[in-house]
Amino acid sequence: MNVVIVGGGIVGLSCAHALAARDASVTVCEAGTLGGGSTGRAAGGIRTQFSTRVNVELSLASLPVWNAFEDEFGVDIDYRRTGYLFLAREEETAAAFRENVALQNDAGADSRLLAPDDAREFCPELRDAEFVAATYSPLDGVADPHSAVQGYSRAVDEAGADVRTNTPVTDVERLGDADDGRWRVETPAETFAADYVVNAAGAWARRVGRLAGVELPVSPRRRQMAVVEPERTLPESTPLTVDLDTGSYFRPEREETAVVGGHFAAEDPDVDPETFDESADIDWIAEAIGHADACADYFGPETRVRNGWAGLYAVTPDHHAVLDEVRPGFVVAAGFSGHGFQHAPATGECVAELVCDGEISHVDVSELAADRFDAPGEGPTRRERNVA
C-alpha cells in the first residue's frame, strides 16, 4: 500500500512512523524543513486536562509514547512532568473546572480541584487572592518539539520511508470515482501515485484540501510567545500555569528564564501562512508579562525580554481536530487548534488504523469527523479556550 503524507511536522511524522510500522510504503512531502512550520514554534505542552473526553483520551493514549520517547527513539526530548496548573478568576469558570475534573477522572486522568491557597504548593508566588479555584494534574508537562521531530525523523528514515523536504504539493487528484481508485499527488519535481493521501499540513491543511476538492474548516491563526528573565527566579518545578480567564500562561524555561504566552486580542482574523509576521509584537510581549505579573509575583517592570516569536495554530470552529477519511483514500489529520504536538502519537496510530484496517479502535474519535460541521449540535459541544 502506497501512502503519501502531506506535511512533515510532528503529526505527519507520527503518521509516517505508525504507517511504516504496518509495512506501508510511505512518502512524506514537506514544503519546507521537517518541523519548520507550526511544530518548531510550539510551546511543547503535554496535558490531560481538557473539557471534552475525546481530547482527554487522545492525551492519555499519547502519554506512553512521550514517557518512553528517549528509550524508543534514542533522543532526549527534555520531557519535564511538572504538571499543568489551571486558574479561575470567575465563578462560572470554577463551575466548569468542577465538570472538567469529573470528566477527566472518569476517563482515567489524574486531575484534581484545588482551592487557590492550596495551589501555592505548586506555584509559591501565586497571587492566590485573585482566584476562586484551580486544577492540577501531575501527568502533565512540557517537552522540546524540535527534539521530538528529530526522534521521529530518525525513526521514519530507519523504517524506510521516503521523506522529501522542500517539496510542496501542487495538486492532488482522484484517479476515477470508484472506491478502489488511486490518487495522483504532484510536486514540482515528481508525481506520486498513492492508495491513500494523508493531509497533515496543519495551518496549510485548508489549501491542501482544496487541491483534492475538499473544503476544510481549518483556519491559520497567528499565536505568539516570548522568553523572558523574570524579576524573581521561577523554580524549574513550577507547572505550566494558565490563567484561564485572561487567556495567559507562563512556565519555567532553561537558564532561569520563563516562557510567557497567551491570546488576548478581541479579533482573530485568518492570516496568510506564507506571509505572516513570525516575530513577536513588543506591545503583545508587554501585555503578556503584565498578565503573568497579575497571576504570580515572579514578574514585574524589571522583567527582561530575551526573545519572542509567532507561529500558527490550525483552528477549527469548535477548536477540535478533524481526524477522518473525508473522501475515499483522502484522510485528514489537522485542525488541532494548538493541541497537535501533544496528540501526535495517538493521531499517528489512529491514521494507521484507518488506512490499514478501515476503522479506528485506538481512540474513539467519532466526534472528530469532518461532517460534524454540516450538522449543528453534533460533535464537541464546548468550545475550549486555546491558550497552550
Q: pLDDT tens, 251-264?
A: 999 889 999 999 98
| pLDDT computed for residue 267 by the predictor | 63
- What mean pLDDT comes out for the span 140-144? 98
Question: Using 50, 70 and 90 to split pLDDT, how confident is the model at 375?
Answer: low
Question: Would you say residue 177 has pLDDT above 90?
Answer: no
Query: Is the model's pLDDT at 107 over the cut of 90?
Result: yes
pLDDT digits (tens, 9 = 90+) for 2-34: 999 999 999 999 999 999 999 999 999 999 999
Nearest Cα to 119, choosing from 299, 264, 244? 244
**Does residue 44 have a pLDDT over 60?**
yes
Q: pTM for the complete prediction? A: 0.94
Check residue 55 and give its pLDDT.
Answer: 98
Give the Cβ contact number of residue 257 at 10 Å. 18
Q: Where are the alpha helices (DSSP H) in 159-264?
A: 205-211
Q: Where in the chain is the domain with CATH 3.50.50.60?
A: 2-63+145-218+317-374
pLDDT at 379 over 70: no
Strand partners, 325: 331
Query: CB of 241 within 8 A of CB of 249?
Result: yes
Question: Could you tell me what percent of the chain has a pLDDT over 70?
Answer: 95
Q: Note the pLDDT tens digit of each residue in 118-134.
A: 999 999 999 999 999 99
Residue 341 pLDDT greater than 60, yes or no: yes
Give residue 381's pLDDT band: very low, low, confident or very high (50, 70, 90): very low
Is residue 362 over pLDDT 60?
yes
CATH 3.30.9.10 in the chain, residue ranges: 84-138+219-311
The string of pLDDT tens digits covering residues 68-94 is: 999 999 999 999 999 999 999 999 999
Q: What is the per-residue pLDDT for 122?
A: 98
pLDDT recorded at residue 226: 98
* Residue in this structure with the C-alpha cell 469527523, named with its chain if needed: 369
- Name the pLDDT band for 116 (thresholds 50, 70, 90): very high
Q: In percent, how much of the chain has pLDDT > 90?
A: 92
pLDDT band per the 50, 70, 90 thresholds, residue 385: very low
Closest C-alpha among 71, 135, 126, 58 to residue 98: 135
Computed on alpha carbons and rounded to an integer, the radius of gyration of the chain in Å comes to 21
286 pLDDT above the threshold of 50: yes
Q: Considering the chain, what is the average pLDDT of its residues?
A: 94
For the domain covering 84-138+219-311, report its CATH number.
3.30.9.10
pLDDT at 387 over 50: no
**Pick from 117, 123, 130: nearest CA to 85:** 123
pLDDT of 166 above 60: yes
Q: Which CATH number fits domain 2-63+145-218+317-374: 3.40.50.10240, 3.30.420.40, 3.50.50.60, 3.40.50.1100?
A: 3.50.50.60
Task: Indicate the Cα dihedral angle 325, 329, 333, 334, nearest 10°.
Answer: -90
